[in-house]
Structure 1
Amino acid sequence: MNRNDRSIVALVMLAHGMVHTYELSLPIFVTIWLMEFDVVNLGLTQLDVTAATLGWVVTAGYGLFGIGALPGGVLVDRIGSRRLISLCLFGMAGSFVLLGLSPNLVVVTLALLCWGAAASVYHPAGLALISKGMNERGTGFAYHGIAGNVGIGLGPLLTAILLVFLDWTTVAMLLAVPALVAGAYATRAKFDESAAVDAGAGGSSKADAGVGSFAEFVTESKRLIAGGLAVVFLVVICSGLFYRGVLTFLPDLLSGLDTFDPIPLASLLPAGLADALGVEAGSGRMLKPERYFYSGLLMVGVLGQYAGGKLTDRLPVEWGLVGAFGALAVLAVLFLPVVNAGLAPLLVFGAILGFFLFVIQPFYQATVAEYTPAGTRGLSYGYTYLGVFGVGALGGALAGTILTYATPTALFTTLAGIAVAGALFGFYLARKNGAATGSEVTSD
């Protein structure tokens, strides 16, 4: 990588790690909110707090995380990536401060909505920056994904450790600090955002300098759909639904297993250290093993992200989608049988699931780049993350509703069906565009 590539990679790795630190820490808080809150007071009525209720609360924040990606994509084509990434980081910090001040689930919901709005601009900004500013795009996607997975794994791990010693509101406020520091760094970052764009590429598009009006937004959206983005949009929706459906309630599902019974913290520490930390027998401070299993599963995703990013430079991305979705379908079917088989099989299975949950992401990110012109790359990734995190956020509500009114078996059968649908869409793209024989894909 050249100097410009390295500067871009440094910023997007930092910001991507922050975004996913917060995103994947929320399911750990969900397990606490299920015990902390009994009702949601809406003034004229009250709702009991169940998995279904919290599923919709979390979906509200996660949904805005995706929905805001579309206007974020328009903005990045107009004002550039660095500014939006800075705003994203400061906004997420403020949102977690509000979360730490939340006295009830209504304010929790408001904090999650603020976080979703702030975080939503990152993916179109960061991915457009890689695709337009880096010469080694595939490697950039790989490192970008690795940083995201470090945040995905270490964020929940840090949250779980802090929750052993502090209440959840204090932990939420402490988590705001890294985003403030990252935001300050982002304001000083300098690089050429369009260093890798051929001035003659995509010249037929009016959006070479971004979308400047609603009429251009409609026109460019039609061009993207005609160029193949419609099917890619269905692919990313399937990925988002599976991702959110598996992860939102995974810690809560695992907490019901005998394998993951809480462990008194005092029993794990030497007497002297326990006294120094103020941890006494019978204090009620417990280690929750399912939180660490969840964090470990997510950290294995680093390998999946890296492998997926490298493979996008070596094989047709459409066939990569088919293979990754096929593996996820099989893993969804096997989840409950493996859970009941004991700890050792579950640990191996968790590592495999973590790998394939994230190997798919560089494939759909690179697919978007293949099917869209550089001038509307921000808009393209806006649509992408509208699908992944906007529509895909319904996976959390779907999971909560199924777990409340049906069974885990029904949930994982549904998730397997979603993965099969994603594989079929990938297969359609491969056949339509001759990916197996290296046919050229139109880039408008």
Structure 2
Amino acid sequence: MSRPLKERKLLVVAVVSHAIVHICELSFPALQIMVAAEILHNPAAYQKLGFAYFVATLVFGAMALPAGFLVDRIGQRRVLILFLFGAAASMILVGTAQSYLMLVLSLGLMGGFIGLYHPAGASLLSLATRKQGAAMGIHGVGGNFGLAISPLLASGLAAWLGWRLAFAGLGLLPLFCGLWVLVDRSIKVELKAAPEDTDNLDRPDPKLFLLPLLVLFLMATLNGMCYRGFSAFLPAFFKLKIPAGTIPLVSGLVQAGSFTTLVLIAGMVSQFLGGKLADRFVKEKVFTAIFLLCAPFLFLLSRLEGIALLLSATAFAFLYFANQPVSNALLPNYVPRLMRGRLYGWFFFANFGAGSVMSWIAGTVAEKFSLAIIFEILAAIAALTGILGFLLVRVSRPDKKPEV
């Protein structure tokens, strides 16, 4: 198989797998009100819902660490297979939960299996593709497609079949993809086929990559808190603040899921644009600018309702989600190829694991105060992330502008 053809195949596998990760990840926020009504007998039990999702997202992020080591030891293909079949089984298990404890445990298991993906997928693309920014952008589009379609798909299935069968139905997606990866043995990358390492990581001064990594990891943690709070409670906020009947002939749950999908579709476009920007400009500066630009819209979102709320959330998502391909393409600047899996593991642990505490904090804040305050806190976190970006630019070595 020619290299361009193999690159395209690996990119397709990564895009589909990335979409599945985020379909599974956001299925619970879309259905949590129905789940709480049946299991907790209180659809507004935000604190318990937030804790349950915190467990899922904490394990999701924590699994990035062993996943990174597994990728470097057994390869991306085997880790992908483990993720896909494990995600399928755990999604079905979530749908069988009969108690709050079983719900928390099954969500944690689901988070653990989908947490295997990001170090495998990101290292696969960083080693197998020549234009990493563009590849990460397309990969991000797949992830945002999963984020976007999950609320609509989950709420639609739940309205038709109930929330239990909705989880089981969504579990078929990783099952079928897992069978594809299992059967097709060409889905792997050889290290010798990777692009030349032009990062000059053999320079003697460790500050050239250690200091930027520390700042980048701190930004990733704050970014993860922002992402987790926004994605976990946006559907509930839409259900509260956008009047039922804005979309005729659908329930409030499906309407909230539909509007969440619309917002996240804007993020799909920005993922692609973010990848293009990463290939053309200094990545550290692009990464910083994104957070400074999106923070005001997140604050504004907390003060609005109805269509104005929807527009502000869409503007935030369009700006915010451009950060993901930029950060994924930025990390290899400071990491030798043989350590890509492990460093991506640590990076995604900082992003998804440490940031996962926000779902619990946000649930507590929502129950004791209001959902709107969550988004004010998240706006401050986004602004702080952007301010840290100035430090990243200062301590980073000059980023090579790729050949166009």
Aligned partners of 2:360 and 2:333: how far apart in 1?
Answer: 32
- Compared with structure 1, are the counterparts of its residues 333 and 227 closer, same or farther at alpha carbon in structure 2 (3 Å cutoff)? closer
The residue that corresponds to 1:198 in the other structure is 196
CA RMSD in angstroms comes to 2.6
Q: Which has the larger Rg?
A: 1
- Please list the CA deviations of residues 64-107 of structure 1 after superposition, one character each: whole Å capped at 9, or x if unmatched: 11001011101101111011011101000000110111112211
SS at match of 1:249: helix
- 1:246 paired with 2:230, answer yes
8 Å contact from structure 1 (residues 263, 287) kept in 2:
no
Aligned partners of 2:333 and 2:213: how far apart in 1?
Answer: 10
- 1:149 paired with 2:144, answer yes
1:257 to partner: Cα distance: 2.5
1:357 to partner: Cα distance: 2.8
SS at match of 2:243: helix
- Please list the CA deviations of residues 346-372 of structure 1 after superposition, one character each: whole Å capped at 9, or x if unmatched: 333232122123111112112211121
Q: Please report the TM-score for the alignment, with normalisation by the length of structure 2.
A: 0.90
Aligned partners of 2:201 and 2:333: how far apart in 1?
Answer: 16
Aligned partners of 1:169 and 1:262: how far apart in 2?
Answer: 27
For 1:335, give the aligned amino acid: L
Aligned partners of 1:49 and 1:39: how far apart in 2?
Answer: 9
Residue of 94, 97, 103 corresponding to 2:92: 97
**Segments of 4+ moved more than 6 angstroms:** 199-205, 222-225
- 1:431 paired with 2:397, answer no
The residue that corresponds to 1:280 in the other structure is none
SS at match of 1:102: coil
Aligned partners of 1:338 and 1:294: how far apart in 2?
Answer: 15
The residue that corresponds to 1:159 in the other structure is 154
- Compared with structure 1, are the counterparts of its residues 34 and 163 closer, same or farther at alpha carbon in structure 2 (3 Å cutoff)? same
8 Å contact from structure 1 (residues 66, 390) kept in 2:
yes
Aligned partners of 1:49 and 1:164: how far apart in 2?
Answer: 19
8 Å contact from structure 2 (residues 209, 334) kept in 1:
no
- 1:60 paired with 2:55, answer yes
For 1:424, give the aligned amino acid: I
For 1:367, give the aligned amino acid: L
Unaligned runs of 5+ in 2: none
- 1:78 paired with 2:73, answer yes
Residue of 4, 7, 29 corresponding to 2:6: 4
1:204 to partner: Cα distance: 6.2
SS at match of 2:279: coil
For 1:399, give the aligned amino acid: A
- Please list the CA deviations of residues 240-263 of structure 1 after superposition, one character each: whole Å capped at 9, or x if unmatched: 100111121111122123523597
- Please list the CA deviations of residues 404-427 of structure 1 after superposition, one character each: whole Å capped at 9, or x if unmatched: 122344322211221122112211
Residue of 293, 305, 321 corresponding to 1:358: 321
SS at match of 2:304: helix
8 Å contact from structure 1 (residues 224, 372) kept in 2:
no
8 Å contact from structure 2 (residues 122, 344) kept in 1:
yes
8 Å contact from structure 1 (residues 227, 371) kept in 2:
no
The residue that corresponds to 2:352 in the other structure is 389
For 1:196, give the aligned amino acid: A
- Please list the CA deviations of residues 20-72 of structure 1 after superposition, one character each: whole Å capped at 9, or x if unmatched: 111122211212223223379xxxxxxx9721121111010111110010111
Q: How many residues align?
A: 394
1:108 to partner: Cα distance: 1.3
- Please list the CA deviations of residues 169-218 of structure 1 after superposition, one character each: whole Å capped at 9, or x if unmatched: 0111111111110001112141434222438977969xxxxxxxxxxxxx
Unaligned runs of 5+ in 1: 41-47, 206-221, 269-284
Residue of 258, 266, 274 corresponding to 1:292: 258
- 1:401 paired with 2:403, answer no
- 1:26 paired with 2:28, answer yes
1:4 to partner: Cα distance: 2.2
- Please list the CA deviations of residues 265-313 of structure 1 after superposition, one character each: whole Å capped at 9, or x if unmatched: 5xx7xxxxxxxxxxxxxxxx76631111011111221101101111100
- 1:107 paired with 2:102, answer yes
**Identical pairs, percent:** 30
Aligned partners of 1:81 and 1:439: how far apart in 2?
Answer: 28
8 Å contact from structure 1 (residues 307, 359) kept in 2:
yes
Aligned partners of 1:203 and 1:327: how far apart in 2?
Answer: 32
8 Å contact from structure 1 (residues 34, 54) kept in 2:
yes
For 2:71, give the aligned amino acid: V
